[in-house]
A and B are shown apart, each in its own frame.
Chain A
Amino acid sequence: MANPTGIGASVRRREDARFLTGRGTYTDDINRPGQTHAVFVRSPYAHARITGIDAAEAMQAPGVIAVLTGADMEADKVGSLPCGWQIHSKDGSPMKEPPHFPIARDRARYVGDAVAVVIAETREQAKDAAELVMVDYEELPAAVTSLKALEGGAPLVHDDVGGNLCFDWHLGDAAAVDAAFAQAAHVAKLDLVNQRLVPNAMEPRAALGEYDRATGEHTLTTTSQNPHVIRLLMGAFVLGIPEHKLRVVAPDVGGGFGSKIFHYGEEAVVTWAAKKVGRPVKWTAERSESFLTDAHGRDHVSHAELAMDRDGNFLALRVATIANMGAYLSTFAPSIPTYLYATLLAGQYKTPAIYAEVKAVFTNTVPVDAYRGAGRPEACYLIERLVEVAAAETGIDKAELRRRNFVPASAMPYQTPVALQYDTGDFAKNLDIALPLVDYDGFAARKAESARRGKLRGIGFATYIEACGIAPSNVAGALGARAGLYESAEVRFHPTGSVTVFTGSHSHGQGHETTFAQLVSERFGVPIENVEIVHGDTSKIPFGMGTYGSRSLAVGGSAIVKAMDKVERKAKKIAAHMLEAAEADIEVKDGRFVVAGTDKALTIGDIALQAYVPHNFPLDELEPGLDEQAFYDPKNFTYPNGCHVCEVEIDPDTGVVQVVNFAAVDDFGRVINPLIVEGQVHGGLVQGIGQALYENCVYDEDSGQLITGSYMDYCMPRADDVPSFTVRYHEDQPCTHNPLGVKGCGEAGTIGASAAVMNAVVHALSEYGVTHLDMPATPERVWQAIRRHTPAQAAE
């Protein structure tokens, strides 16, 4: 490798030094002089009218400074939390968008909906006093599951949203699909549930509001993946604070996985309350509060049908999905089950006709929004389960059936029937690499060996494609996004040649401080320790959209490249002046600025110094300084894709599923830091395996109480639940439309894993006649499935 800290090097992470020694600074680690603590009073009912709040006793409790309610916010003209995406129903009508106030005003709509906030000197005092706030509730019947909420006569979550239907949307060509089904030799059908999950970043959400009376400036420090978006939404829509008086800082953030993209009511409350009580106000969620209030993920119920000809060629796909939105529309909620889901239903296949219908439903549960992968895992799971069913029913080998239907690499760029245009990808190659990795041919022997030990064995595939690098703005706008989706960067060379890069992306575990610095090191030959990456503070960084949807490198990194292009152009001018050469003769070689055909050369450090000490600059032609900014709005999404293969062993006596082998082959385009990329894949895989085997967010269907409200009940995958992984990637299909050729790797593992695991589980159980099992495949579910399908054995 030419540059040991450049592109392609597994540079060890620079941020680790502080994390490993306990010097990370997460929001809850920050304390301000005079700081107070906020604790929320939350509804114990899924649905209730609030008929009165008596805070008199709480106000008398030790240390209490204020008890504030929705009425106080209303009096201060605080608005509702805006939704960032608008969807239209089939009939052209806009989605129903009932207001979502930071603190409920007259009705609580899920268990955990905030009803009041207590502010006290210490967290313990605030907690004690919160118990003393007397709220009169009139309990109302709740609509808990999406299916029941849609039934006639179901309780209404919002009085003015008839039938609890937020929107009834569709995509694709229904007539073409109907025609294809009429011709089909075989139709595979599947009903499936993609269960609700709790994202569970290990750092609970926290927010610290401050107000400076001297300057009139508000500061919010918060656990966010995109501080500028929070500033925009909270400033413009909720609190009405102009942007120059509102600073949002997201310091070290302990994981997000989507759950920290959204603007939450607590952020608005502490910012507003800090001015009201005249002191800093901090709120930190307890884990049980996170379960009740962090936006949940997934929660789809679907029916899918795949039409095939006699040879197993896919003719058409028809999908009907019901998506649970929870009680209110979270920031990006409507985009998830529509444009981030249905547009990916083509998968890796050249199915000519696709039609998808999606009904989004309000229920008395926590709002649902993006969780790692966001819509794409749901699409991958549906299509890959359906293909597996089709393989079983037609008797065509499941690898072969996939291969037969892949969009060939030669057909790229490929326009799918559901809006997207894939730029590059070689799907057969992913499969070719994966099969020997898992010794597919040796499976039968391993299965026989398992059988000798009384165990069942199965192998399952998942091939996936995702649309990442979210943007372009014009497309996003056409699809209903209310914001642009570009990214920004500023590359500032200092007089002595060190560099600060300001990025609109946000790092909450992805290692940007290392990867982004590698880009600069590669380009200008600057030692990596001389490059500083600054993110997460609206007072420092240019306006940016933050980190989600594997967009940081593809969009944020490309913005850095664009800013570096400008720096290079400027540096060439300065070099030409310094070397008394024509600007056109200056070229950059190994990070040095050289006069073509000579040995006259300058380092970027020489040039930077001159830029800030322009004693002999022709100042009418050459401006001092070496500091450039760029915004980058891509032309298309990027399309990471891959093939994941999982092998499981099941103990039929206990129903316990063990993942015994897992291989992931991915095409992420160009890879900047292999170490970090592989780490992202590992983490993603375990979240996918977690959904397949363990995780499930369960509400009581009548009362709407959250049953899985802590780590005692919600099963998080632990070290002894999962295996080590075989991970491979190839780089010969770079993205064609961003300057780095990168595609994104953050969500891939999660998208592929659940389908691969479930396909393996069902394959193992197929000898009992099991054709489908809903996630999670817990021991009880697996055991029941075995018993249900073998009544003779169950009777023994």
Chain B
Amino acid sequence: MPCTVSMTVNGKAVSREVEERTLLVTFLRDQLGLTGTHVGCDTSQCGACVVHIDGRSVKSCTMLAAQADGAAVTTIEGLAAADGTLHPMQAAFREHHGLQCGFCTPGMVMSAVDLVTANPSLSEHDVREGLEGNICRCTGYHNIVKAVMAGAEAMQGGTMKAAAE
């Protein structure tokens, strides 16, 4: 049974007809062409699909498009400033080599931003626990953790530490 869903995605109002069973991630990728949100699993374990709904991180493979009706959705494509300036967390991932193949990266960055928003003064331990829902097969997490710590500081308006140890 098709139904109509309306939401704001990356600041733009969208309205589309979807099948009731359509997952939010499928809606974003296939109907809106926002392919930065990835699908890495079918059991809600990997976190490649994390987006923000009304500012909080959500695994978009775990909810239906219809459940996001009326919400404000931000995907990785909407994180940088309108002029293309990277979000401090994106910049920190780049500076600290927190990505390799880049597949987990959008979900990682979206999770990290929410983590820092919820707890601006996190420890390394908090970061590791906070990223427990995101799997990265490439980086060994070492640089991701460094990036999130630096990104947290930058989000507070601090300067980023150099990547070199």
Contacts and interface: CB of A to CB of B under 8 A. Distances in A.
Nearest to A12: B94
Contacts of B95: 12
Contacts, number: 179
B60 interface: no
A138 interface: no
Interface string B92-110: 0111010111111110010
A255 interface: yes
Contact of A19 (B46, B105, B140, B164): B105
Interface string A671-691: 000011011111111110000
A16 B76 CA distance: 13
Interface in B110-141: 124-125, 127-129, 131-132, 134-141
A651 interface: no
B132 A685 contact: no
B135 A711 contact: yes
Contacts of B43: 287-288, 710-712
A404 interface: no
Contact of A22 (B39, B77, B138): B77
A749 interface: yes
Q: Is the interface of A mostly helix, strand, loop or mixed?
A: loop
A665 B134 CA distance: 29
Interface string A108-145: 00000000000000001000000000000000000000
Interface in A566-613: none
A617 interface: no
A22 B39 CA distance: 13
Contacts of A710: 41-43, 45
B86 A21 contact: yes
Interface in A6-26: 10, 12-13, 15-26
Contacts of B132: 718-720
A116 B101 CA distance: 32
B143 A13 contact: no
A253 B101 contact: yes
A20 B84 CA distance: 12
A12 B97 contact: yes
A17 B80 CA distance: 11
A21 B137 contact: no
A414 interface: no
Nearest to B130: A719
A124 B21 contact: yes
A10 B141 contact: no
Given A16-B93, A254-B38, A509 B138 contact: yes
A341 B134 CA distance: 33
Interface stretch (A46-54, A197-205, A469-477): A197-205
Interface in B22-63: 29-30, 34-43, 45-46, 48
B99 A712 contact: no
B145 interface: yes
A24 B101 CA distance: 10
Contacts of B134: 718-719
B12 interface: no
Nearest to A749: B140
Interface string A508-527: 11110000000000000000
Contacts of B34: 22
Contacts of A682: 139-143
Contacts of B69: none
A722 B129 CA distance: 11
A676 B97 contact: yes
Contacts of A288: 42-43
Contacts of B39: 28, 204
A22 to B, nearest CB: 2
B163 interface: yes
A181 interface: no
Contacts of B45: 710-712, 716
A254 B21 CA distance: 27
A684 B139 CA distance: 8
A252 interface: yes
A254 B135 contact: no
Contact of A287 (B37, B42, B109, B139): B42
B108 to A, nearest CB: 9
A17 B94 contact: yes
Given A17-B94, A19-B105, A711-B41, A255 B36 contact: no
A29 interface: yes
A12 B90 CA distance: 13
A422 interface: no
Given A287-B40, A509-B102, A711-B45, A679 B97 contact: yes
B144 interface: yes
Contacts of A20: 76, 86, 90, 93-94, 99, 102, 105-106, 109
Interface string A26-44: 1011010000000000000
A687 to B, nearest CB: 8
B100 A683 contact: yes
Contact of B101 (A29, A201, A712): A201
B46 A683 contact: no
B100 A716 contact: no
B36 A254 contact: no
Contacts of A328: none
Most chain B CB within a 10 A radius of its CB, from A16, A28, A255, A686: A16
A248 B78 CA distance: 32
B21 A22 contact: no
B42 A716 contact: no
B99 to A, nearest CB: 6
Most chain A CB within a 10 A radius of its CB, from B37, B90, B95: B90
A687 B77 CA distance: 30
B135 A718 contact: yes
Interface string B71-86: 0000111011000001
B103 A202 contact: yes
A203 B101 contact: yes
A260 to B, nearest CB: 11
A510 B139 CA distance: 10
B104 A202 contact: yes
B40 A10 contact: no
A202 B50 CA distance: 14
Contact of A21 (B38, B77, B100, B144): B77
B134 to A, nearest CB: 7
Nearest to A712: B43
Contacts of A253: 101
18 contacts: A12-B97, A15-B102, A16-B93, A16-B102, A24-B36, A201-B103, A202-B104, A255-B100, A255-B103, A510-B100, A679-B100, A680-B100, A682-B140, A710-B45, A711-B135, A719-B134, A720-B128, A725-B142
Interface of B: 19, 21, 29-30, 34-43, 45-46, 48, 75-77, 79-80, 86, 90, 93-95, 97, 99-106, 109, 124-125, 127-129, 131-132, 134-146, 163-164
Given A679-B140, A682-B143, 4 more contacts: A20-B102, A24-B103, A509-B100, A679-B97
